[in-house]
Structure 1
Amino acid sequence: MTILFRLSSPARRVASTASALLVALCLQSGTALAQNGDNGATSPPPPFTYDQHEAAMAFADDLASRRNLDPAWVRQQIGAAQRLPAVIRLTQPAPTGTAKNWAAYRARFIEPVRLQAGLQFWQTHREALERAEREFGVPASLIVGVLGVESLYGRYTGNFRVMDTLTTLAFDFPASHPRAAARAEFFRSELEQYLSLTQRTGQDPLALRGSYAGAMGWPQFMPSSWNKYAIDFDGDSRIDLINSPADVIGSVANYFTHFGWQPGLPTHYPVAFDPATLDLDALLAPDILPTFSPEHFSAQGAMLEGPALQHNGKLALIELQNGDPANGGAPPSYLAGTENFYVVTRYNWSSYYALAVIELGQAVQALVEGR
């Protein structure tokens, strides 16, 4: 999923003015140049398509055999995919040393446009939200928060051809990425899931559009999540995460249920520190995975109060940086995350994302209730 992660349009290529010498050299090398009037401007070269990629075609044959699909159809779809340099650039990791900033990240999502859109969405689809909460135990506020962060309630679902993005990342994932091999394998699996999905539903694989990572629809489901967790919630005997808000609502609730959402359990609690006993390194070592009992949590110097003292499950200390303190940033923010906070991060492995989703949903709920 998404992850998080936001959408960006493909970079444009601007044709440069070619001198007579450049034209001659390019013609000698076999490069075709299209003249634009008398100014010598050249058109960009045709996009690379994966029918020219040996490994992609071998993958197509293997996929067809394993999935019992028509080999010619699979080859045709993968072969028609275009390599997208913009997608490769967008997948590059952030420069090392880049300080995260929770306050800035939060401000991107808890803002007037998204709040008003969330209020309208909740009011329009109140019945489906209430039914999802009854049937799955997932709060309406969490569903609303996810959809607001992921696609601004369907306004921005991505404009990349899914076939292009998945194939590009499956076979041309940037080698500079620290987990390049694993990520490329992930996208090959998603490409397989996507072709299986479109073949089963009769959709044109070259028609669907999504994010630069291949996520689709209002909830920005990857193809594997669409296949596993998407449900028909409006009763029309088909699953549509692009045009059916009810299916979208039910599918997000179903997703969280499958990852262990516990109805009634808070996602997090406030936390304070006892400087005399604080072992911050030990508390942060498990990252966002709930590991500590409340007693162990307190023994390490993380102090709970109120309802948190009655918590029976595991906790994680969540750290949210607020910029680089050495360059004017504020100190980090901290909270005690429960198993349900961890479930929210299964949508996107980021504590920043999870808290933004939670707080956006809560802010919209306050508007709905007139608070």
Structure 2
Amino acid sequence: MVKTAHKTRPAKRAIRHRRLARHQAASRQPALPGPIYAQRTDAMLAADDIAARRDLPPDWVRQAIGQAHYLPQVARFIQPPPPGTPKNWQVYRSRFIDPVRIRAGVQFWQDNQQMLTRAQEQTGVPAEIIVGILGVETIYGQQMGSFRVIDALTTLAFDFPASHPRAAARSEFFKAELEQFLSLTHRTGMDPLMPLGSFAGAMGMTQFMPSSWVKYAIDFDGDDRVDLFNSAADAIGSVANYFKAFNWQAGLPTHYAVRFDSATLSLPALLAPDILPTFSVESFVAHGAVLEGAALQHPGKLALVELQNGDAPPSYVAGTENFYAITRYNWSSYYAMAVIELGQEVAQEMARARNP
């Protein structure tokens, strides 16, 4: 999970987009360790700084960071794709909307019906959105990553690839996440050398980065601890709590169908705000977008969301504030649509199971 902004930042969005695209392959690869960081002066100085600012035992922080291994795979996976790499919504969709995830989603929904209902009632976030998130992220806990979180975060904090266009900023981001991770594990009694996660250091069924775990993870099963690795209830409640924090609006659709009036279409103007809802229905239509039915009564702002399809024409939808909220979990419109459509597919299978 990354920090948020009012508008999608391509560099950060690309990190999450690539992490999901490679998640299955990466989770099956053993993380071959490189040298440990105990002999790195910069890492040990950072450990002392973290200990002082977080009031943590200096020796404990030094030991944790010192036992972290440099992971060359992590440095490789974090690199941006080659310039000009085409995006393809249909290919992206096929990675996440598949029989394996749909069957697993039905089973997860059936096993956790009560918790999903409670989360929806308390936050307004639909069960199918929560199910979509957990299915896309980890297939409901089946693929939570095979990289030691301490290794991944330390590698990206101190050896973020210099060739990356935003290397300095990304290195600082991961240093902050490493600090959050160490503070979290010390406070909760978790061994910092044990948790496994993604190559970017995301953890649990929800794939929360440490800062998101600290801010949004909740104890939803009432056992007085937050466990996103083993508690489906905590994962459900934490996803719902995350979206509540990002202003999810109960009962509001995520998007509407849209087509264009070629005589009045101003596509550059419609695409200029990216996925940030900016247009009233009236201004949206005035720029050549054609809406029908309930979309014409939409009370808030809209954004034109473009999903490229390689050499084929792009797909478009009119995204609402709730579509934008999903992109705060992962800064990608492709991701948001995959979450929505996986949740819909699982919901349809649930309905068919109830009414064969």
With the length of structure 1 as denominator, give the TM-score of the two structures.
0.88
Deviations 1:13-64 (A, max 9, x none): 7xxxxxxxxxxxxxxxxxxxxxxxxxxxxxxxx8311112222111111111
Q: Provide the aligned C-alpha RMSD in A.
A: 1.3
- Distance in 2 of aligned mates of 1:92 and 1:175: 10
Residue equivalent to 1:357: 339
Question: How much has 1:228 moved relative to structure 2?
Answer: 0.7
- Distance in 1 of aligned mates of 2:306 and 2:40: 44
Question: How much has 1:232 moved relative to structure 2?
Answer: 0.6
Structure 1 counterpart of 2:146, from 159, 171, 174: 159
Q: Give the number of the structure whose alpha-carbon radius of gyration is greater.
A: 1
Q: Structure 1 residues 11 and 234, CA, compared in 2 at 3 Å: closer, same or farther?
A: closer
Aligned AA (1:332): P
Q: Report if aligned partners of 1:11, 1:86 keep a CA contact under 8 Å in 2.
A: no
Query: 1:91-170 residue pairs with structure 2 within 5 A?
Result: 91-170=78-157
Residue equivalent to 1:337: 319
Structure 1 counterpart of 2:168, from 166, 181, 184: 181
Deviations 1:320-364 (A, max 9, x none): 0001x2xxxx10000000010000000000000000000100110
**Counterpart of 1:64 in 2: which secondary structure?**
helix
**Pair 1:90 & 2:77 matched:** yes
Aligned AA (1:298): V
**Counterpart of 2:134 in 1: which secondary structure?**
helix
Structure 2 counterpart of 1:308, from 295, 298, 302: 295
Q: Report if aligned partners of 1:161, 1:210 keep a CA contact under 8 Å in 2.
A: yes
Deviations 1:186-208 (A, max 9, x none): 10010000000000010110011
- Distance in 1 of aligned mates of 2:340 and 2:166: 29
Query: 1:222-301 residue pairs with structure 2 within 5 A?
Result: 222-301=209-288
Q: Structure 1 residues 11 and 251, CA, compared in 2 at 3 Å: closer, same or farther?
A: closer
Question: How much has 1:11 moved relative to structure 2?
Answer: 6.7
Instruction: Give 5+ residue unaligned stretches, structure 1.
Output: 14-45
Aligned identity (percent) is 66
Query: 1:187-202 residue pairs with structure 2 within 5 A?
Result: 187-202=174-189
**Counterpart of 2:191 in 1: which secondary structure?**
coil
**Pair 1:215 & 2:197 matched:** no
**Counterpart of 2:38 in 1: which secondary structure?**
helix
**Counterpart of 2:128 in 1: which secondary structure?**
helix
**Counterpart of 1:52 in 2: which secondary structure?**
coil
Deviations 1:244-302 (A, max 9, x none): 10111001000000011000010000011111111111111111111111111111111
With the length of structure 2 as denominator, give the TM-score of the two structures.
0.92
**Counterpart of 1:331 in 2: which secondary structure?**
strand
**Counterpart of 1:217 in 2: which secondary structure?**
coil
Residue equivalent to 1:321: 308
- Distance in 2 of aligned mates of 1:158 and 1:132: 26
Q: Structure 1 residues 206 and 315, CA, compared in 2 at 3 Å: closer, same or farther?
A: same
Residue equivalent to 1:26: none
Moved over 3 A (4+): 9-13
**Counterpart of 1:50 in 2: which secondary structure?**
coil
Residue equivalent to 1:366: 348
Higher relative contact order (CA 8 A, sep 6+): 2
Question: How much has 1:317 moved relative to structure 2?
Answer: 0.5
How many matched pairs? 334
